[in-house]
Amino acid sequence: MIIALDAMGGDHAPGPIVAGAVHAVAADPQLSVMLVGDQSQVEPLLERAAHRDRLHLFHCTQAVGMEESPVVALRKKPDNSISRCWQLLAQQKVEGIVSAGNTGAMVAGGLFLKRYLKNVRRPGIAAVMPTVKGPCVLIDVGANVSPKPEHLFQYGVMGSIFARHILQRPQPKIGLMNVGSEEAKGHDLAKETNALFNASTLRSQFVGNVEGRDIHRGDVDVVVCDGFVGNVVLKTSEGVFDFTMKMVFRELLASLDAERDKAKLALEALIHRYDYSAFGGAPLLGIDGVCIICHGSSGERAITNALAVAASYARAHLNELIVKELEASPPAASEE
Amino acid sequence: MIIALDAMGGDHAPGPIVAGAVHAVAADPQLSVMLVGDQSQVEPLLERAAHRDRLHLFHCTQAVGMEESPVVALRKKPDNSISRCWQLLAQQKVEGIVSAGNTGAMVAGGLFLKRYLKNVRRPGIAAVMPTVKGPCVLIDVGANVSPKPEHLFQYGVMGSIFARHILQRPQPKIGLMNVGSEEAKGHDLAKETNALFNASTLRSQFVGNVEGRDIHRGDVDVVVCDGFVGNVVLKTSEGVFDFTMKMVFRELLASLDAERDKAKLALEALIHRYDYSAFGGAPLLGIDGVCIICHGSSGERAITNALAVAASYARAHLNELIVKELEASPPAASEE
């Protein structure tokens, strides 16, 4: 099992990115990592690494900046680490790719190569969100900001497979993100998608519309939404979590005396556990291969987790299931 | 100053709704409230109320249920309390209306009467959100789920007036909700709206695109978004706040001993203070009159606050400013 890792991608690259790879190969004896990046920067970081035989280097001279326009950057920098990762995947030299770099460039890199799985109309990013009843999956969180109903339906199929095999929910419940629970709620996209689900083989798993406040209650396992809404939800959730913990820190700790340090430790542990950036990345589902997109702020631990997720995802053969289930449950035919 | 209050609207109506009105008139000697609802249910609640001379009753026989389809309910129940509130406003018998009832019916009731302010294309709901730097306003949170760029531009104008006169920000900063900060990010609606702001007289206040995680950081005073996204953001924020506080309660309190009760009190105070449902409702801006839409779970305190907000909003003559500023800063002409 070999996974390519964009060594130049992320706010803190390449230091913690390479360190994450070193830990990942130590934790999984079957895993090899291909570090894609500038040799002069990456090689020194590997000097004292164990398992050097499973840490390979693919040299490239360019990197896409976190704030660069994806399309422009990919065109102007042909030797960038993100494009090189995708090419390694397309050439089947690796089974998966992982990057904490520019998300837009990562998605665009995949769309350029059009390495979609059979029957997939458009890939979608699946993010794992914490809820009071354990994790759920939100799809799409930014690959496709102007989807059609059939794309959202397919996100339901792919998200459901992910929930079943990665989150261990034997019969995942699927909800459609909307502004109210009635079928007639929302814009045309929501109404048409709702109708597609109700007319499909997923009908028994489809609980109908869900609202923003339902996500973190954990009443559904898969929340389907367009990439614009999903991206906003993901980042708003991060923002509210940060905001709330800041308030708790400030006001709670000020009210305590003897047990202030104890409380501080407990709160820090909670932040560490629910840190949205530490979840190990979000898979771009619908791609022929495994592609994990990590938060730009990913540190060592997040990268180690993401590599483990990529490996387990490849081993679970989810892609074969996606092809098969999309074949078995085609949405109503429509023009692309 | 007389405000109509939908006595039948809300999860707990009419008890806490009427109690909220009783408190509101006690707190503001210039305020009268017209309670709109079923006389046999409302009158007994007023038996021991002080300031009975400023608590009026407008009897009606029907009410829209919280889960009813707005359009169907408004048509089938002509004597419902929401429609009656709107009619009182249209007849200028009241200066404002307040309801914690079915939000969709409340918005639809206003749209049916088409009582838009001059120059306003579509009204939008403005929600006040807590941030680490004090409140900001998010507009629209559900009146208009399929807006055009010009509608969003007008939300920026109206939100800015609200921030200036209600939130006391002399020069409000306006951000456009999007999936990234670059101008080229997002779907067509976002790109076209971004261009409209940059070509307008609001240009100096417009900071460009903001992301979900920026809202609660408080770096902008006005966040403009379509009603679908805004509604999802508002409800997701509630959900994440609830989720986070649940986790904090469970894990923090378990780690404490002697000061557990002290910590519990501090956390409860925090929840009380940031309770999204207690903010006193969200104004529907762009209407000729004042219309405040409250959370369905509103209790006494939320209703008291909402009536106070309605009164101060009417006194601030925001509507005159909205008409004037929309006249002074028309967006690029376009077909409706």
Residues of B in contact with A238 (CB under 8 A): 212-213
Q: Average pLDDT, stretch B188-204?
A: 95
For the cut 70, the answer to whether the pLDDT of residue A33 exceeds it is yes
Q: Are residues A212 and B239, on separate chains, in Cβ contact within 8 Å?
A: yes
Residues of B in contact with A227 (CB under 8 A): 179
Q: Are residues A216 and B182, on separate chains, in Cβ contact within 8 Å?
A: no
**Same-fold call for B2-120+286-316 versus B124-275:** yes
Residue type, B186: G
Q: Are residues B252 and A267, on separate chains, in Cβ contact within 8 Å?
A: yes
Among A144, A217, A235, the strongest candidate for a mutation testing the B interface, having the largest count of B CBs within 10 A, is: A235
Residues of A in contact with B265 (CB under 8 A): 255
Q: Are residues A240 and B184, on separate chains, in Cβ contact within 8 Å?
A: no
Residues of B in contact with A129 (CB under 8 A): none
Query: Does the model's ipTM exceed the 0.90 cut?
Result: yes
pLDDT at A204: 95
Question: Which of B274, B294, B293 lies closest to B285 in space, CA to CA?
Answer: B293
For the cut 90, the answer to whether the pLDDT of residue A274 exceeds it is no
> pLDDT tens digit string along B56-74?
999 999 999 988 888 899 9
Instruction: Calculate the average pLDDT of chain A.
Output: 93
User: The domain at B2-120+286-316 falls in which architecture?
Assistant: 3-Layer(aba) Sandwich (3.40)
Which residue in A182, A232, A263 is closest to B263 by CB distance? A263
Q: What percent of chain A has a predicted confidence (pLDDT) above 70? A: 97
Residues of B in contact with A180 (CB under 8 A): 104
Q: Are residues A187 and B146, on separate chains, in Cβ contact within 8 Å?
A: yes
> pLDDT tens digit string along A209-267?
999 999 999 999 999 999 999 999 999 999 999 999 999 999 899 999 999 999 999 99
Tokens 């978004």 label which residue?
B225
Q: Are residues A145 and B186, on separate chains, in Cβ contact within 8 Å?
A: yes
Residue type, A262: K
Which residue in A179, A213, A251 is closest to B266 by CB distance? A251
Which residue in B146, B244, B263 is closest to A256 by CB distance? B263
For the cut 70, the answer to whether the pLDDT of residue A331 exceeds it is no
Q: Are residues B187 and A145, on separate chains, in Cβ contact within 8 Å?
A: yes
pTM over 0.90, yes/no: yes
β pairing state of A124-129 and A136-139: antiparallel
In chain A, the residue whose alpha carbon lies closest to the alpha carbon of B146 is A187
A238 Cα to chain B: minimum distance (Å): 6
pLDDT at B335: 42
> pLDDT tens digit string along A50-82?
999 999 999 999 999 988 888 899 999 999 999
Q: Provide φ and ψ at B186, rounded to 5°.
A: 90, -175
3-state SS string over chain A?
CEEEEECCCCCCCCHHHHHHHHHHHHHCCCCEEEEEECHHHHHHHHCCCCCHHHEEEEECCECCCCCCCHHHHHHHCCCEHHHHHHHHHHCCCCCEEEECCCHHHHHHHHHHHCCECCCCCCCEEEEEECCCCCCEEEECCCCCCCCCHHHHHHHHHHHHHHHHHCCCCCCCCEEEECCCCCCCCCCHHHHHHHHHHHCCCCHHHEEEEECHHHHCCCCCCEEECCHHHHHHHHHHHHHHHHHHHHHHHHHHHHHCCCCHHHHHHHHHHHHHHHCHHHCCCEEEECECCEEEECCCCCCHHHHHHHHHHHHHHHHCCHHHHHHHHHHHCCCCCCCC
Q: Are residues B187 and A265, on separate chains, in Cβ contact within 8 Å?
A: no
Residues of A in contact with B227 (CB under 8 A): 179
Q: Provide φ and ψ at B176, rounded to 5°.
A: -105, 125
∠ CA A149-A152-A153, nearest 5°, is 85
For the cut 80, the answer to whether the pLDDT of residue A276 exceeds it is no
Q: Average pLDDT, stretch A38-51?
A: 96
pLDDT at A57: 98
Tokens 């869900």 label which residue?
A210
Neighbour order of strands in the sheet with A32-37: A55-59, A32-37, A2-6, A96-99, A290-293, A282-285, A124-129, A136-139, A222-224, A174-177, A206-210
Q: Average pLDDT, stretch A128-149?
A: 94
Q: Average pLDDT, stretch B172-179?
A: 97
Among A243, A260, A297, the strongest candidate for a mutation testing the B interface, having the largest count of B CBs within 10 A, is: A243
Burial of A91 (0-12, 13-18, 19+ CB in 10 A): exposed
Among B141, B146, B179, the strongest candidate for a mutation testing the A interface, having the largest count of A CBs within 10 A, is: B179
Which residue in B179, B211, B243 is closest to A131 by CB distance? B243
> pLDDT tens digit string along A308-325?
999 998 998 899 999 999
Which residue in A146, A186, A213 is closest to B228 by CB distance? A186
For the cut 80, the answer to whether the pLDDT of residue B222 exceeds it is yes
Q: Are residues A180 and B104, on separate chains, in Cβ contact within 8 Å?
A: yes
- Would you list the domain boundaries of chain A? 2-117+286-317, 124-275
> pLDDT tens digit string along B125-142?
999 999 999 999 999 999
pLDDT at A47: 93
Question: Which of A246, A211, A142 lies closest to B237 in space, CA to CA?
Answer: A211
B107 Cα to chain A: minimum distance (Å): 13
- Fold (CATH) for A2-117+286-317: Isopropylmalate Dehydrogenase (3.40.718)
pLDDT at A336: 43
Instruction: Say how many residues make up chain B.
Output: 336
- Fold (CATH) for A124-275: Isopropylmalate Dehydrogenase (3.40.718)
Q: Average pLDDT, stretch A43-55?
A: 96
Which residue in B131, B213, B245 is closest to A235 by CB distance? B213
Task: Using pLDDT thresholds of 50, 70 and 90, give the confidence band for residue B278.
Answer: low
Q: Are residues A177 and B232, on separate chains, in Cβ contact within 8 Å?
A: yes
Residues of A in contact with B231 (CB under 8 A): 179, 211-212
For the cut 60, the answer to whether the pLDDT of residue B336 exceeds it is no
> pLDDT tens digit string along B242-260?
999 999 999 899 999 999 9
The 10 Å CB-count burial string (b at 16+, else e) for B120-137 is bbbbbbbbbbbbeeebbb
Contact B80, B65 (CB under 8 A): no
Task: Using pLDDT thresholds of 50, 70 and 90, give the confidence band for residue B180.
Answer: confident
Residues of A in contact with B243 (CB under 8 A): 130-132, 216-217
Among B11, B216, B243, the strongest candidate for a mutation testing the A interface, having the largest count of A CBs within 10 A, is: B243
For the cut 80, the answer to whether the pLDDT of residue A24 exceeds it is yes
Cα(B253)–Cα(B260) distance, rounded to whole angstroms? 6
Task: Using pLDDT thresholds of 50, 70 and 90, give the confidence band for residue B279.
Answer: low
